[in-house]
Copies of this chain bind each other. A is one copy, B any other.
């Protein structure tokens, strides 16, 4: 891995390149995606069938073929290897437990003049989860998307997932059973997003669409935003590691590679205050890479998008990391908790050497759907609130409107909204 030093002349340029990391080229595919969405809006199921035949290479004979039979989910769950079932349950329980802590409550508050103000929290009626299929079918993504919806008490959770050659991922189905998913449809890509946003004869219109996907899926999600809500627009995966001389170079190397193996576009960045650690990690990465099954992907990611930065001190290191705002941030320093107040922007923060990033992908509890490409500066991890919305509650008493009505009407006057002012003043006449 290339090692760069913050006191090199070229550093500013090098760092700029790191910040400009892989952005999804939404503009490049937007015309294609727009056409796909238009087709679904116009032709519904018939368009879905055409797209499945084209992309997933199997023939849908009738509308019912789009839906995976309910009993297949239970069967997949019943047939699970016992060890795997146990692990899935552990993950399910821990993820559920964490997300329950996020659940906001409706609240109400009172004033002495009789005013009542509050906020009512309500789940959306129907959530649509997009879960990639085929080679990139990640059952863990199903847990991470369905459980927050389940905790939010969404009445109906549906899933769309592509099934190349009509083959379904059994572990994904088992996870759907565990998460009480209502319906699973064998539909993928931008077509699935359009179907859930606008509805077809078979697939119902949803209120919120969440879940990962390729550039076509991400672009479709952006395009239907407003028609439905979406979680975020995510790009390639990333890890940032903040480490001092106490870090174990082998651990750091494995963790960097656990992101690199995802995707050639993934980026893995170590920022350290220790020159020696930088060198040892670089050597370890090369050694471990040789034997990895996904070596080609990981090698390309490390070569083209990986970097080790040596900073003058921990303050500089943190400040650079805040600029990167990584999806995953590991802190392997002497006392990682001390640094927490200074870490401003990161999707998930992993503290200490016993917290490798994959722990957060599967089993820790927090969500693994996280903002990428510096969007941790404004997006949150997927969470229960993505499946809820709020309504303000306002109730004024006669006393309250008598006390505050004229101030309100005066502001309406200033904005030239006469009926606004009058609708208040008409209530003051009888005071």
Quick one: which of A344-389 are within 8 Å of B by CB? 344-367, 370-371, 375-381, 383, 385, 388-389
A408 contacts across to B, CB distance below 8 A? 87, 91, 358-359, 361-363
Partner of A426, one of B250, B346, B370: B250
The reply on A412 being an interface residue by CB < 8 A is: yes
The reply on A11 being an interface residue by CB < 8 A is: no
Q: Which of A288, A379, A419 has the most CB of B within 10 A?
A: A419
Tell me if B419 and A261 are in contact (CB < 8 A). Answer: yes
The reply on A229 being an interface residue by CB < 8 A is: yes
CA separation between A419 and B138, bound complex, in Å?
A: 15
Chain B: which residue is nearest A114 at the CB level? Answer: B354
Given contacts A392-B348, A394-B349, contact A415 B258 (CB under 8 A): no
A400 contacts across to B, CB distance below 8 A? 354
The reply on A3 being an interface residue by CB < 8 A is: no
A362 contacts across to B, CB distance below 8 A? 407-408, 411-412
Given contacts A345-B122, A360-B392, A366-B394, contact A420 B233 (CB under 8 A): no
CA separation between A377 and B124, bound complex, in Å?
A: 6
Tell me if B394 and A363 are in contact (CB < 8 A). Answer: no
Instruction: Summarize A's interface: helix, strand, loop or mixed.
Output: mixed
Partner of A396, one of B140, B364, B420: B364
Count of A residues near B, CB < 8 Å? 124
CA separation between A117 and B363, bound complex, in Å?
A: 12
Partner of A418, one of B261, B395, B398: B261
Tell me if A419 and B139 are in contact (CB < 8 A). Answer: no
Chain B: which residue is nearest A322 at the CB level? Answer: B125
Copy total for this chain: 2
Tell me if A419 and B378 are in contact (CB < 8 A). Answer: no
The reply on A90 being an interface residue by CB < 8 A is: yes
The reply on A226 being an interface residue by CB < 8 A is: yes
Q: Which of A63-71, A101-109, A177-185, A307-315 contacts B (4 or more CB under 8 A)?
A: A101-109
CA separation between A398 and B356, bound complex, in Å?
A: 12
The reply on A251 being an interface residue by CB < 8 A is: yes
Tell me if A424 and B356 are in contact (CB < 8 A). Answer: yes
CA separation between A397 and B356, bound complex, in Å?
A: 11
A interface residues (Cβ-Cβ under 8 A, vs B): 26, 83-84, 86-88, 90-91, 94, 98, 101-102, 104, 107, 109, 115-117, 119-120, 122, 124-125, 137-140, 171, 207-208, 222, 225-226, 228-229, 232-233, 250-251, 254-255, 257-258, 260-262, 288, 292-294, 298, 336-337, 340, 343-367, 370-371, 375-381, 383, 385, 388-398, 400-401, 404-405, 407-412, 414-424, 426-427
Given contacts A91-B411, A359-B408, 18 further A-B contacts (CB under 8 A): A83-B410, A117-B366, A139-B411, A222-B226, A225-B233, A254-B419, A293-B416, A343-B391, A349-B391, A352-B395, A353-B427, A354-B395, A355-B396, A360-B394, A366-B393, A366-B394, A377-B389, A378-B389
